[in-house]
Chain A
Amino acid sequence: METGSAADTGTTPEPEPRWTGLPRGLLRMRRLLLVVWLGLAAVAVGVLLGLFAGPAWAAFALLPLAGIVWGWVGLGRNWLSWRYAERADDLLISRGVLWREETVVPYGRMQLVEVTSGPVERHFGLASVQLHTAAAATDATIPGLDPAEAERLRDRLTALGEARSAGL
């Protein structure tokens, strides 16, 4: 299988795959969104309850603030848990802290590789790569990649998929 070793990661020995984490941009984006939305919620709750129900009720604004702290830590741990490895014949994706999930997708099984990037993601210079196989249950998405890396991954996966392509 020459195609597999064409790229640098192809020669990785099978037992210990070389894992790649996600770039920091994704964490930054998610934390910013968290702070913006929960911050707005805290202000809205505080102002509305303070005006209409009395200042004591405004203490409920602390709930979204606590949410920010909890989410800040949670997002960090979740971001750390995401990683992927390109092996000679398949792609590994591992993610999740409390609900852990690890997916193995053989290159030959990929029907479609998609690179998507929403407006917010684009602003932060991020893109996600999604793999589709004939089974819809295959949930193989790598979010928050650098667009150049996402395109490299897409091209490499497509090339490998063609080389190892198999029918259903």
Chain B
Amino acid sequence: MTTPGLDEGVRPKRVVVERRLHPVTPFRRAWAPVAVVVGWAAHDPNQAQEQLTRLTTTTLLIVFAVVVPAASLYGFLSWWFTHFSVTDSELRIRTGLLFRRTAHIRLERLQAVDLTQPLLARLAGVAKLRLDVVGADKKDELAFLGASEARALRAELLARAAGFAPETAHEVGEAPARELLRVPARELAIALMLTGATWGALAAALVVPPVLWLATHSVWTVLATGLPLLGAAGASSAGRFVGEYDWTVGESPDGLRIDHGLLDRTHETVPPGRVQTVRIVEPLLWRRRGWVRVELDVAGSANSVLVPVAPRAAAEAVIARVLPGAEVPATATLSRPPRRAGRCLPLWWRGYGIAVTGAVFVARHGLLRRSVALVPHAKVQSVRLSQGPWKRLWRLADVHVDTGADKTVTARLRDAREAAELLRGQAERSRTGRRDAGPDQWMA
């Protein structure tokens, strides 16, 4: 890898075309002053009410005459001063009215691309584009672009990140996708109904406000606790259903495609070789139906669900595509900690287990809600062994495997000698695993 400065000096300098966001964007930014006023009113309701009663029609008109143009001016200026451009190796975003900010996002470091369309944006025909890079900010998203422009830009960015020649990257176009799995709405609804968190939130929202009313007889207290509880209950049931509706996992040469959402549509693309960890979670109530949820960790990405609910066989088929060469070992083949682990953690020690295959390190935990984590050897950042005094007495130790998504997978309560071997062996495997791993630019 050469430094960018050198790069530019050697190559004939190409003209970088700077573009602006979609003209709808100012309307989105124009909400900022209104939000400030609403936030102030919510923060201090008594004083807000006092001020409101003193307002007359004329003052209101004056306020509107000032606030509305100010808001539109702010929205317009922030749109006017935001530019982005795509160079051979970077996406550059230049923004800021008072505080200038320039973000250069290196495409070879690209971990995932998200294309989201909130409901209003869908009506307006625009979309948000976000590049997930380690350390990228919320501010570094391109909001908003015209829907077709956003798709074209995503295709171009992916083509450049994949290592297509800069001249052809423009014409490569969108890679064809093949559907791997689609979650039926009925299955999703049943799965949510069989989730403890849904009922827990609902029960809390129904029980806590009446109890508070009996205890305090204060409307404000009840509202202040009841509304957030109701919101949480709604988010964990209806909100999750709406968000995970029509969940589709597809495969394309550009990597994994995850599309979902009923009102807000989200299209995520994870290029090959970016997945740091895959977790198969099996809640207690799903076990009879043989359903699992699959989660994944990608460095710098906020999304962590790969499949919200699917039969185990289908989920394993998806995992086999996501982590090439890795198969999920059967629960029975995982090696459990030795019996004396019960001295450190009674009963729950039975939930632990590990396995090492040619491609992945597998660790399981949880007795009721089982969770199996798979880490490709090539994604291991460091391996640690830790042992406290009590574990030492029972000749046990934990082995932690740190991944690039800043998550740790732990093999708990292993025999001390086995743990030491695991530490050495895992370091060796991740070293050789890295050597065989594909290039960052997957088409190069």
Q: Nearest Cβ distance between residue A135 and chain B, in whole angstroms? A: 4
Q: Nearest Cβ distance between residue B385 and chain A, in whole angstroms? A: 4
Q: Are A98 and B382 in contact (CB under 8 A)?
A: no
Candidate in A14, A99, A104 with the most chain B CB atoms within 10 angstroms: A104
Select A100's contact among B378, B387, B431, beta carbons within 8 Å: B387
Which residues in A have their C-beta under 8 angstroms from that of B276? 168
B188 at interface by CB-CB < 8 Å:
no
Q: Are B389 and A133 in contact (CB under 8 A)?
A: no
A106 at interface by CB-CB < 8 Å:
yes
A166 at interface by CB-CB < 8 Å:
yes
Q: Nearest Cβ distance between residue A167 and chain B, in whole angstroms? A: 4
Q: Nearest Cβ distance between residue B74 and chain A, in whole angstroms? A: 37
Q: Nearest Cβ distance between residue A132 and chain B, in whole angstroms? A: 10
- In the complex, what residue of chain B is closest to A88 when comparing beta carbons? B431
Q: Nearest Cβ distance between residue A109 and chain B, in whole angstroms? A: 5
Q: Are A168 and B382 in contact (CB under 8 A)?
A: no
B430 at interface by CB-CB < 8 Å:
yes
Q: Are A109 and B382 in contact (CB under 8 A)?
A: yes
Q: Are A108 and B434 in contact (CB under 8 A)?
A: yes
Q: Are A90 and B406 in contact (CB under 8 A)?
A: no
Candidate in B1, B430, B440 with the most chain A CB atoms within 10 angstroms: B430
For the A-B complex, the count of residue pairs with Cβ-Cβ distances under 8 Å equals: 97
B299 at interface by CB-CB < 8 Å:
yes
Q: Are B109 and A135 in contact (CB under 8 A)?
A: no
Q: Are A102 and B381 in contact (CB under 8 A)?
A: no
Q: Are A135 and B408 in contact (CB under 8 A)?
A: yes
Which residues in A have their C-beta under 8 angstroms from that of B405? 134-135
Select B430's contact among A99, A106, A140, beta carbons within 8 Å: A106
| A-side interface mostly | loop
Q: Are A89 and B404 in contact (CB under 8 A)?
A: no
Which residues in B have their C-beta under 8 angstroms from that of A102? 384-386, 420, 423
Q: Nearest Cβ distance between residue B14 and chain A, in whole angstroms? A: 25
Which residues in A have their C-beta under 8 angstroms from that of B134? 134, 168
Select B427's contact among A90, A133, A136, A137, beta carbons within 8 Å: A90
Select A133's contact among B382, B423, B426, B428, beta carbons within 8 Å: B382
Which residues in B have their C-beta under 8 angstroms from that of A165? 1
Q: Are A140 and B382 in contact (CB under 8 A)?
A: yes
Q: Are B431 and A168 in contact (CB under 8 A)?
A: no
B residues 361-396 near A (Cβ < 8 Å) are 378-389, 392
Which residues in A have their C-beta under 8 angstroms from that of B389? 98-99
Whether A133 contacts B386 in the complex (CB less than 8 A), given A102-B423, A168-B276, comes out as no
Question: How far apart sit A167 and B376, CA to CA, in the bound complex (Å)?
Answer: 14
Q: Are B384 and A168 in contact (CB under 8 A)?
A: no
- In the complex, what residue of chain B is closest to A91 when comparing beta carbons? B382
Which residues in A have their C-beta under 8 angstroms from that of B379? 168
Question: How far apart sit A166 and B385, CA to CA, in the bound complex (Å)?
Answer: 23
Question: How far apart sit A140 and B405, CA to CA, in the bound complex (Å)?
Answer: 18
Q: Nearest Cβ distance between residue B132 and chain A, in whole angstroms? A: 11
Question: How far apart sit A90 and B434, CA to CA, in the bound complex (Å)?
Answer: 13
A3 at interface by CB-CB < 8 Å:
no
Q: Are B388 and A98 in contact (CB under 8 A)?
A: yes
B316 at interface by CB-CB < 8 Å:
no
Whether A134 contacts B404 in the complex (CB less than 8 A), given A105-B382, A168-B379, comes out as yes
Kindly list 13 other residue pairs between chains A and B, CB separation below 8 angstroms, not including A100-B385, A135-B381, A137-B384: A98-B388, A99-B388, A102-B423, A104-B426, A106-B382, A109-B381, A134-B134, A134-B405, A135-B408, A137-B402, A138-B381, A168-B274, A168-B299
13 A–B pairs (Cβ distance < 8 Å), ordered by A: A90-B427, A99-B387, A101-B384, A101-B386, A104-B426, A105-B381, A106-B380, A106-B381, A134-B381, A134-B406, A135-B402, A138-B381, A138-B382
Chain B residues proximal to chain A, CB less than 8 Å: 1, 108-109, 111, 134, 274, 276, 299, 378-389, 392, 397, 400, 402-408, 420, 423-424, 426-428, 430-431, 434, 437, 440
Nearest 4 Cβ contacts at the A-B interface? A135-B402, A168-B404, A138-B382, A104-B427
